[in-house]
Chains A and B, each alone.
Chain A
């Protein structure tokens, strides 16, 4: 009986000593952590996407508590997380920003945009883009190898016929795809903006038309049709100004190239 007691006692004393050392250490090495940081970290999306401009959600949470970042800074979290963070910080959520979504400004799917060569290398838009200007003839087209899809933390992008298709319900406008796309095809636009020019080919009409059936040739018919001066034709392609556009869709009806799309 005695050896068992003895062993237990030694282990107990060892444990006690370590416990005391740890207790002492936790007092000695105590770091003041604002409990709001953890709460703010909970309230934001947790995607670590970097859309807020801070290194990950932890960086954002620390900046919010330090008063450097706005409470509505978490783009993927949207209005809901802005409200939660404002409640934690005891301030107002401020003006609600309109929800943005990522939109693909290209319709050059397989069969519509001309192919330059058959690409059989490593499946990545960035790699393909460096091979003689990419596998599609149009130098502004979506390459369709899915770099944006692979970087999307929310599974909102899928590739259909070598073209990125964005699920607007899942998109949180974090902007990762915008930064990833080597062709700068994706743009963040207000969710309510249902009329979009789905091409950004800057080439002159003849060249643009030669490489893609649905290319914007910069003819300006949409601009003349629009009563609200919401369309500008710059750099050889049309662009709709979301602030002025009334989403009437008149421009889409006159576009000779089918590159204005009403969703």
Chain B
């Protein structure tokens, strides 16, 4: 498959939030401000890239040779959790500015289903190492795009007149649905 097409499809057509419905919790929970949404998106991008690499390594060189594929989920959780811990320590030491910018979002990602989702999907689709990492990075960029767009819309909503019963989460869910429909329009592209 053409690598460029693959990247585009990860971001737009196979968007994690709008077509796979993974990572919806942070999508709704951390999208009230563009700034925090962007840092959450960046943190997810960071972790998903590394997690897909390590999950691929553990799966290919440990689980498959030992015929323990049924342990994927628990092994991936272990990998992701330790990885996030490690990345956190590393950032705290060497990049304090980035560490404080990502803040609470970095440890939160440990339990983000999008990260576990990308690791599992890579195995299911049988991607090689390059495509696994690309899938991780560009799916996360799709997540970043979605959460920043959503935050932009929600910031505008703050100052618009909405019926009382629709204020807050109801209107956010309606918007999420409309955005998902809009993203389906990319389906014919790839």
Contact = CB atoms under 8 A, between A and B. Distances in A.
Asked if A pairs with B, the answer is: yes
Interface of A: 6-7, 10-11, 14-15, 18-19, 21-22, 25-26, 28-31, 122
Contacts of A28: 93
Interface stretch (B77-85, B113-121, B125-133, B179-187): B77-85
Q: Which of B62, B68, B89, B94 has the most CB of A within 10 A?
A: B89
Contacts of A22: 82, 85-86, 89
A19 B79 CA distance: 11
Interface of B: 58, 62-63, 66, 68, 71, 74-75, 78-79, 82, 85-86, 89-90, 92-94, 159
Contacts, number: 42
Q: Is the interface of B mostly helix, strand, loop or mixed?
A: helix
Contacts of A6: 66, 68
Contact of B62 (A14, A19, A21): A14
A31 B68 contact: no
Contact of A14 (B78, B86, B89, B94): B78
A10 B90 contact: no
A161 B113 CA distance: 49
A30 B89 CA distance: 8
Given A14-B58, A19-B82, A30-B93, 13 more contacts: A7-B68, A11-B78, A14-B62, A18-B82, A21-B82, A21-B86, A22-B85, A22-B89, A25-B86, A28-B93, A29-B94, A31-B92, A31-B93
